[in-house]
Amino acid sequence: MASVSSLPQQAAAAPDARPAFTVLAAISFSHLLNDTIQSLLPAIYPFLKSTFALSFTQVGLMTLALMLTASLLQPLVGLYTDRRPMPYALVVGMGFSLVGLLLLAFAASFGMLLVAAGLLGIGSSVFHPESSRVARMASGGQPGLAQSLFQVGGNVGSSLGPLIGAFLIVPRGQSSIAWCSLLAVVAIVVLARVGGWSQAKRPDLLAPAAARRSRVRTPLASSRAVGWPLAILAALIFSKYFYLASLSSYYTFYLISKFEVSVRTAQIDLFIFLGAVAAGTIIGGPLGDRFGRKYVIWGSILGVLPFTLLLPHASLFWTTILSVVIGLVLASAFSAIVVYAQELVPGRVGLISGVFFGFAFGMGGLGAAALGRLADAIGIEAVYALCAYLPLIGLLAAFLPELDE
């Protein structure tokens, strides 16, 4: 595989007939670094809860600050870069994440923790829509595969956060978070190279703005024909990310409360779950390319229901097994959802990617805040029993129209 430093030189020569795997590897690796940084915050919630004497509600508010900044800004970033491409915007976004990490390392109050979480969210608001666009550009006509390769980097990164929390931050204290800023520095270097490839790939960057806008405005189907499937996809995102919020934000607390395991053991179990999510992500895109994205979406969301219903009643051993199955099945949906939406609304890759990544982040943030408040009221175990029914929303996938994929 060619080095990342050669990306700009390869851009002009790389044929569009097959995926540009060097570029996809670079953007997937950057996604790994970005989401490792993002996952540090929920991974150290038990540590922060103890250090700052936080309630579950305050823990949920930190996730809300992280997710809502990303949720509200991502569609705006995608819309803007659809009209005015900015290949090096990824570097700027990672700079926000770098500042957020450093602030998190030295925060002395709950308010500073919220600001740090918000800065991490701003970094994601730039990274996800623009890097999703790069993945589409490098797909070589296999957008599902490209989106899965891009996504799997993020999911692997998300699974690393708990390990860093367990073996670096918990033993060495809050200030050790500053060492994680090196991840952001490496990501900035890689993304600068990706930006060079993107700039060389898009000569229309130098074209007049009005001409670019006229090329982007692809005719769309009627608002009703597009709006109804998008609403269904939004409902499926709600189901998926509300349930994932219960696991990513509160799984460690659930294990500690129900089975009295140590913080480190709970974080390792969270790593196992997030590793299963990463593996599931790589499956969904290629299956969607081959069999149709609608069927992957339907099977992923609804297919996880039996396992979510069993989880609140399982022993510690079976809880770990069920969480792996849930992660594998549920994670396969998102790549298929994003590519389905991109094909439903052609010519708006940045906007659609921003909307769906932003909505996913928003649902994760709202879910974490709502479930945290609920956990304070009725207990974390009761929350898991209620969340088990969320995958029933997957029945709506039956009403998605068939696309010519």
Q: What average pLDDT does the segment 363-380 reach?
A: 84
Question: Who contacts 45 (Cβ-Cβ below 8 Å, separation ≥6)?
Answer: 59, 62, 249, 252, 253
Amino acid identity at 7: L
Query: Residue 13's pLDDT is what?
Result: 37
Q: Longest C-alpha distance within the chain, in Å?
A: 63
| The one-letter amino acid at 356 | F
Give the Cα separation of 269 and 112 in Å (integer).
29
pLDDT band per the 50, 70, 90 thresholds, residue 393: very high
Q: Which pLDDT band holds residue 147 (cuts at 50, 70, 90)?
A: confident
Confidence of residue 171 (pLDDT cuts 50, 70, 90): confident
- Name the band, by pLDDT with cuts 50, 70 and 90, for residue 7: very low
At residue 382, does pLDDT exceed 80?
yes
SS3 198: helix
Contact 289, 144 (CB under 8 A): yes
Q: What are phi and psi of 86, to 5 degrees?
A: -130, 85
CA dist 316 and 364 (Å) reads 25
Percent helix, strand, coil in the chain, to 5, is: 85, 0, 15
Predicted pLDDT at 25: 92
Q: What is the DSSP string of 241-295?
A: HHHHHHHHHHHHHHHHHHH---HHHHHHHHHHHHHHHHHHHHHHHHHHHHH-HHH
Mean pLDDT of the chain: 82
Q: Which residues have CB under 8 Å from 393's CB, separation 6+? A: 235, 236, 238, 239, 301
Q: Is 217 within 8 Å of 347 (Cβ atoms)?
A: yes
pLDDT in tens, 215-236: 444 444 456 678 889 999 999 9
Q: Report the distance separating Cα 280 and Cα 330, nearest Å.
A: 7
Res 8: pLDDT:
40
Q: Tens digits of per-residue pLDDT, 69-114?
A: 877 787 888 888 777 777 788 999 999 999 999 999 999 999 999 9
| Percent above pLDDT 90 for the chain | 30
Beta strands in 279-387 (DSSP E): none
**How many angstroms separate the CA atoms of 348 and 78, rounded?**
8
In this prediction, residue 155 has a pLDDT band, given cuts at 50, 70 and 90, of confident
Give yes or no for a contact between 19 and 139, defined as CB atoms under 8 angstroms apart. yes
Number of residues in the chain: 405
Kindly list the distances between the CA atom of residue 151 and the CA atoms of 29, 103, 129, 263, 293, in Å, as whole numbers in the listed order: 10, 27, 12, 28, 16
Q: What is the pLDDT of residues 316-362, one digit of tens each?
A: 999 999 999 999 998 888 888 888 888 888 877 777 877 887 787 67
What is 15-399's CATH number? 1.20.1250.20
CA–CA separation, 401 and 292 (whole Å): 11
Angle at CA of residue 383, ends 377 and 41, nearest 5°: 90
Handedness of CA 343, 346, 349, 352 (dihedral sign): negative
Q: Would you give the DSSP letter of residue 207?
A: S
Tens-digit pLDDT profile for residues 185-225: 999 999 999 988 988 876 544 444 444 444 444 444 456 67
| Model pLDDT for residues 44-73, shown as the tens digit of each residue | 888 888 889 988 889 888 878 887 787 778
Q: 79 is written with which tokens? A: 């819309």
